[in-house]
């Protein structure tokens, strides 16, 4: 009985150690980003996608609006210009613009829960986000 208890405790300790080591590795590894293409803003965030198909995203506070750019991994612009909130509140300062990895090729996700979409030609972005946040059953 005592050997069985020691064996069980040993297994639990090994599993806990592996879980902790894996979590530490994932939390502390550097995010991957390819070389920044010419013309991409120095503060642009690389949004990692599958098979190297990521995006570069950046936003700046304009005088009365938010100007953003979404480019593919090679630097070709997909959307550029004025962006508006889909959900959440519009950032009031540059410090409020913290782009997260939940962003996509038609929207920018901010750390405060706000989604920004292009002010024009945004129907596909709206349909997809409606589906993702539960406002629609399909897109």
Summarize pLDDT for 4-34 with one digit per residue, the tens: 766 676 766 667 666 665 655 455 555 677 8
Determine if residue 102 is left, alpha or beta; phi over 0 gives left, psi from -120 to 50 gives alpha, anything else beta.
Answer: alpha
Read off φ and ψ for residue 88, nearest 5 degrees: 105, -170
50-70: per-residue pLDDT in tens? 777 899 999 999 888 999 999
Most confident by average pLDDT, 27-41, 86-100, 123-137: 86-100
- Asked if 38 contacts 75 with a C-beta cutoff of 8 angstroms, the reply is yes
What is the CB-side half-sphere exposure of residue 46 using CA atoms within 13 A? 18
Name the pTM for this structure: 0.73
């Amino acid at each position: 009985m005592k050997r069985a208890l020691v064996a069980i405790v040993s297994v639990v300790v090994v599993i806990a150690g592996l879980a902790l080591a894996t979590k530490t590795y994932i939390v502390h590894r550097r995010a991957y980003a390819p070389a920044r293409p010419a013309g991409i803003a120095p503060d642009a965030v690389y949004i990692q996608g599958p098979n190297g198909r990521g995006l570069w995203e950046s936003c700046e506070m304009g005088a009365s609006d938010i100007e953003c750019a979404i480019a593919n991994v090679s630097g070709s612009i997909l959307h550029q210009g004025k962006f508006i909130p889909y959900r959440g509140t519009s950032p009031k300062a540059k410090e409020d613009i913290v782009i997260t990895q939940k962003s996509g090729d038609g929207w920018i996700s901010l750390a405060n829960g706000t989604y920004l979409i292009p002010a024009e030609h945004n129907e596909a972005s709206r349909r997809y986000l409606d589906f993702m946040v539960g406002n629609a059953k399909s897109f």
